[in-house]
Structure formats: structure tokens, C-alpha cells
Amino acid sequence: MKKIVVLSGAGISAESGLKTFRDDNGLWEGHNVMEVASPIAWENNRELVLEFYNQRRRQLLEVEPNAAHRALVALEEKYEVQIITQNVDDLHERAGSSNVLHLHGELLKARSTFDENLVMDWRNDIKSGDFCEHHMQLRPHIVWFGEAVPMFQPAAEHCAMADVLIIVGTSMQVYPAAGLVDFVPQGCPMYFIDPKPNIREHSSLHIISKKAAEGVPQVVERLLSQ
């Protein structure tokens, strides 16, 4: 079975009603990302960071996967499919994708500030005073700017095994995620679906300048008919 690797970013969830990071004058829901998504912000303004992610979590629980998330599930009829997402939402999982790797963490999980491997499902607000079993504060299970990306290595290994790469809804500005394209085998066909595609052209790249809910089902249909 051929392997398809999908690298998704915020744009795939835009039509579900979740804002992207960089489409709105560089502000994310009214905030500079460093103000809410960095270890310094956590040290200096914990309440703001907790409330920001609490709002994101509540909002996530009100939205649904869209046609792009759903179309990727259909690919599993014919291919081994590995989703690598930069998104912290669970819309790929809710659509039904079997293999989803989250590069930047997950909104519906919390983790201990004492032991980063102590991660738990968490659907409610995280509040000051919510502790892990070691009596240490819980934090959002999110990779903030300046933090290590522990899932990068397994993601790169998947890319190295890809027969086809689909990239959807990412500005390709954040590393190391954007560097994953360099791990796919030479000549591997790539599809890039984004209304404002930001990628270097090359011979095996097909650019589809469309929104995800329209462009992804088209690419999936093409791949299923091959």
C-alpha cells in the first residue's frame, strides 16, 4: 500500500470556524502570539495564558470538522495515510482519521509543569490551582515558541517514507514544521492546497490555490482514481 503523508496547518480548520494565526494582521484572536504562546508569557502572565487557551478549548468544543478533514479520511480506503498536523484541535480525529500526529500539542490535553511526560485528557478550563499528582500546576499541552518539538523526529521519519505528500493550509513560516518537506524522497509528488500558497515551485509540486474544503476533496478524488 502506498503511503500518503499530509502536513496540515491552521487553514484546514478555518472553514470550521477556527481562526488562523497569521491571516488577521499577524494577530491571533487579538493577541500577538508571543504574548500568549511562549514560556515567558507563562512565567509573567499565567492568568492571561490560561484564559486564552481556555477560550480556544471552549471554542473548539463548539465547532465541527469540515469537508477537507472528512475527505482525508476517504483516502484510507486505498492508501496508508499519516496526518501530521500543526493544529492543536482534534478535528482530524473527529472526522475519523486513524493516524494523527500533533506536532504542536493538543488543546484537549493538559500536562504537569513538573513532569512533561505526565499528560492527561482535559476538556474543561485549566485554572490556577489545578494540580498534577505531584501537586504542581497543570499547563496547556501546547508546544510554545522556543520550546522543543518532541514529535518532530517521528514526523520526519514518516515524511522520509512518503509516496505522496499533501500540504494544506499552512503559511510554511514556522520551523521546524516547515522543514519537513525536505525529508520527503526526491521526486515525491506533492500537492499544496492553500488560497495563498507560500512554497518554492519545483517539478513534482502541484499547487491548488483554493480553500481547503474545496481543494482537498478534489485532490483526494484524483488520488483515489489513480
Among 2, 10, 4, 5, which Cα is nearest to 172's? 10
Give the integer Cα–Cα distance in Å for 40 and 33: 12
65 makes contact with ligand APR (CB under 6 A)? no
Return the C-alpha cell found at 123: 476538556
Distance between CA atoms of residues 214 and 41, nearest Å: 37
* Residues in 160-189 that interact with ligand APR by CB under 6 A: 169-171, 173-174
User: Which listed residue (69, 92, 102, 104) is catalytic?
Assistant: 104
Q: Give how far the C-alpha of residue 120 lies from the chain's centroid of Cα atoms, to the nearest Å.
A: 19
By rule CB under 6 A, what count of residues binds ligand APR? 23
* Cβ distance to ligand APR smaller for residue 82 or 170: 170
Active site residue 104: yes
Helix 67-74 with 212-225: angle, nearest 10 deg: 10
Nearer Cβ to ligand APR, position 34 or 160? 34
Q: How far is the CB of 134 from ligand APR (least distance, A)?
A: 27
Contact positions toward ligand APR, by CB under 6 A? 9-11, 14-15, 20-23, 33, 86, 104, 169-171, 173-174, 194-196, 198, 211-212
Known catalytic residues are 104
